[in-house]
């Protein structure tokens, strides 16, 4: 199975957001290891950019545009879009969207350049949220939407810590490079 991360970035921002894309490439490799460790599933990882240009309000990029792109690229590939815009419609409190072999999140830019911790806290966590929806669905969890949302609520409002991983993809108590939802909360 292929998991393809796609960084959707406006053409005029591409150069200044190159640090983010480098982080995304590392994060995609991290998730390959994380998925194997947590779900015993092998995914081939791909990672690239989708450069966008300015559009009129009637042609604005949104979830339906990316779903169409996903279908054209092949429904059997798990496409995960990291977008510069919030979806108009979402079923998740983390500003993401998921469907079969499809994920998308609003990817936030750090205010300070090269702020890896911001990327881990604001983006890597939401990627894990949407990945968990699909991975739990594929493994047959009946309440894969509600279970993920219940744990997400614990992270946000009940001081449940996110799992912390270092640059070596191993758990750490030090400064994390990657953060994910606490998978011990799920019956994996």
Q: Which residue has the tokens 């991360």?
A: 5
- The count of other CB atoms within 10 Å of the CB of residue 110 is 18
Say how far apart CA 78 and CA 141 lie, in whole Å. 18
What is residue 17's three-state secondary structure?
Answer: coil
Half-sphere exposure of 122 (CA within 13 A, CB side): 14
Listed residue (168, 20, 43) closest to 106, CA to CA: 20
Which whole-number Å values give the CA distances from 185 to 119, 150, 163, in the listed order?
Answer: 23, 9, 11
Q: Which two tokens stand for residue 12?
A: 């005029």
- The CA-based angle 149-151-153, given to 5 degrees, is 70
Asked whether 44 and 140 are in contact (CB, 8 A), the reply is no
Better pLDDT: 51 or 65 = 51
Asked whether 181 and 151 are in contact (CB, 8 A), the reply is yes
- Taking only the tens place, the pLDDT of each residue in 120-137 is 999 999 999 999 999 999
Q: Which two tokens stand for residue 180?
A: 């994910």
What is residue 102's three-state secondary structure?
Answer: strand
pLDDT at 45: 98
Q: Name the average pLDDT for the chain.
A: 91
pLDDT at 58: 47
Q: What is the mean pLDDT of residues 141-155?
A: 94
Domains of the chain: 2-185 (3.40.390)
Q: Which two tokens stand for residue 76?
A: 């059997």
Model confidence, pTM = 0.92
- Taking only the tens place, the pLDDT of each residue in 24-57 is 999 999 999 999 999 999 999 999 999 888 765 5
Q: Which of 5-14, 82-91, 93-102 has the highest mean pLDDT?
A: 5-14
pLDDT-derived band at 68 (thresholds 50, 70, 90) equals confident
């Amino acid at each position: 199975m292929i998991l393809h991360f796609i960084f959707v970035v406006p053409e005029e921002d591409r150069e200044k957001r190159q640090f983010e894309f480098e982080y995304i490439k590392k994060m995609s490799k991290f998730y390959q290891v994380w998925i194997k460790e947590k779900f015993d599933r092998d995914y081939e990882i791909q990672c690239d950019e989708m450069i966008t240009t300015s559009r009129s309000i009637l042609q604005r990029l949104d979830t339906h545009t990316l779903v169409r792109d996903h279908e054209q690229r092949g429904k059997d590939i798990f496409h995960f879009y990291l977008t510069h815009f919030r979806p108009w419609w979402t079923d998740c409190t983390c500003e993401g969207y998921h469907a079969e072999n499809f994920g998308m999140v609003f990817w936030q830019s750090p205010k300070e350049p090269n702020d890896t911790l911001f990327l881990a806290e604001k983006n890597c966590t939401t990627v894990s949220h949407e990945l968990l929806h699909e991975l739990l669905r594929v493994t047959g969890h009946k309440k894969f939407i509600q279970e993920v949302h219940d744990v997400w609520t614990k992270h946000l409002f009940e001081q449940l810590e996110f799992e912390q991983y270092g640059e070596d993809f191993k758990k750490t108590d030090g400064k994390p490079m990657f953060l994910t939802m606490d998978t011990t909360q799920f019956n994996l």
